[in-house]
């Protein structure tokens, strides 16, 4: 199936121009990769799980999980990413499988996976019905007592960035922020082509409700970057071992603080499919 039928044309164009492959190798990406691995590890209880990495990009997380001995399936709608992921998988002894597809229609049987990671789908689906479809599909494919880890962008993300670097005073940027704060919908203005393609930015409570409304059991929500990234010298200080230790400790002690959660650009939710809810 052609990827242009799976996702919006604007998202396809965005990822064709951007480098998802190198993003995790520089700047905030280095921290993001290590931090997300540590969050995923909180829900890896045995050495050989069946894991589906939905919206897994070029396969960096799938590779990491496969190297740990898990049976991993990557699902991704961007053809550019699929090719890179296939090359990555082919170099491994314990290969992960790569599937062209997207979150609303997973080509896996019922009760198949121990762990499902929804990494990009929930912020690339602007309509509530589409996000519900993605969550329903993940629930269907999940085994009883299995875990879903879902990632979202906070509704405050652009506004905080705009306040920190002065972009909030540019009219088109502020209009975009207002739309995100009021409706959650993110549509980058023409004069900011480097911003993320069309997306949906969640309020933390609403993010939780979207999963609970599908009969999934809520476990916890985690701030990915937390409030530590508000440090004005964040990048430089993350390269200083002494200062990095302080910032990481700050993230850890506040990662589940619901009052501070809106100050983190990204968040991760953990939910479980409990037997009682199985129809």
Q: What is the mean pLDDT of the chain?
A: 89
Rounded Cα distance between 12 and 107, Å, is: 21
What sign has the CA pseudo-torsion 76, 136, 139, 271?
positive
Confidence grade of residue 196 (pLDDT, cut at 50, 70, 90)? confident
- Sort 223 into a burial class: Cβ within 10 Å, 0-12 / 13-18 / 19+: buried
Please give the pLDDT value at position 230: 92
Does residue 277 register a pLDDT over 50?
A: no
Residue 267 phi, psi dihedral angles, 5° rounding = -140, 155
Please check whether residue 89 is in contact with residue 63, taking contact to mean a CB–CB distance below 8 angstroms: yes
Query: pTM (2 decimals)?
Result: 0.89
Rounded Cα distance between 253 and 257, Å, is: 8
Q: Quick one: what percent of the chain has pLDDT higher than 70?
A: 88
Please give the pLDDT value at position 279: 44
Strands 71-76 and 97-100: parallel
Rounded to an integer, the average pLDDT of 107-136 is: 95
Q: What is the pLDDT of residues 3-27, one digit of tens each?
A: 334 444 544 444 455 545 555 555 5
Does residue 59 register a pLDDT over 80?
A: yes
Q: So what's the architecture of 9-153+203-273 in CATH?
A: 3-Layer(aba) Sandwich (3.40)
List the chain domain ranges. 9-153+203-273, 155-201
Residue 83 phi, psi dihedral angles, 5° rounding = -60, -45
Please check whether residue 127 is in contact with residue 237, taking contact to mean a CB–CB distance below 8 angstroms: no
What does the H/E/C string look like for the chain?
CCHHHHCCHHHHHHHHHCCHHHHCCCCHHHHHHHHHHHHHHCCCCCCCCEEEEECCCCCHHHHHHHHCCCEEEEEECCHHHHHHHHHHHHCCCCCCEEEECECCECCCCCCCEEEEEECCHHHHCCCHHHHHHHHHHHHHHEEEEEEEEEEEEECCHHHHHHHHHCHHHCHHHHHHHHHHHHHCEECCCCCCCCCCCCEEEECHHHHHHHHHCCCCEEEEEEECCHHHHHCCCHHHHHCCHHHHHHHHHHHHHHCCCCCCHHHCCEEEEEEECCHHHCC
Does residue 235 register a pLDDT over 90?
A: no
């Amino acid at each position: 199936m052609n990827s242009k039928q799976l996702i919006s044309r604007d998202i396809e164009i965005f990822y064709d121009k951007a480098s998802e492959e190198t993003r995790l190798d520089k700047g905030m990406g280095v921290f993001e990769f290590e931090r997300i691995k540590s969050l995923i590890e909180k829900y890896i209880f045995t050495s050989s799980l069946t894991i589906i990495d939905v919206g897994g990009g070029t396969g960096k997380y799938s590779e990491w999980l496969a190297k740990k001995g898990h049976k991993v399936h990557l699902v991704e709608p961007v053809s550019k990413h699929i090719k890179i992921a296939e090359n990555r998988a082919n170099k491994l002894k314990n290969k992960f499988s790569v599937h062209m597809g997207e979150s609303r229609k997973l080509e896996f049987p019922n009760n198949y996976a121990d762990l499902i990671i929804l990494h990009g789908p929930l912020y690339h689906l602007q309509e509530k019905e589409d996000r519900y479809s993605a969550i329903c599909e993940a629930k269907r494919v999940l085994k009883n007592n299995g875990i879903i880890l879902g990632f979202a962008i906070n509704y405050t993300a652009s506004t905080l960035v705009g306040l920190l670097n002065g972009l909030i005073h540019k009219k088109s940027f502020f209009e975009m922020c207002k739309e995100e704060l009021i409706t959650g919908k993110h549509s980058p203005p023409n004069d900011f082509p480097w911003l993320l393609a069309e997306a949906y930015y969640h309020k933390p409570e609403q993010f939780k409700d979207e999963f609970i409304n599908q009969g999934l059991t809520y476990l916890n929500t985690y701030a990915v970057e937390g409030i530590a990234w508000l440090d004005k010298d964040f990048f430089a200080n993350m390269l200083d071992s002494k200062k990095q230790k302080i910032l990481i400790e700050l993230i850890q002690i506040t990662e589940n603080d619901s009052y501070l959660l809106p100050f983190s650009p990204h968040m991760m939710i953990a939910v479980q499919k409990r037997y009682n809810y199985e129809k």
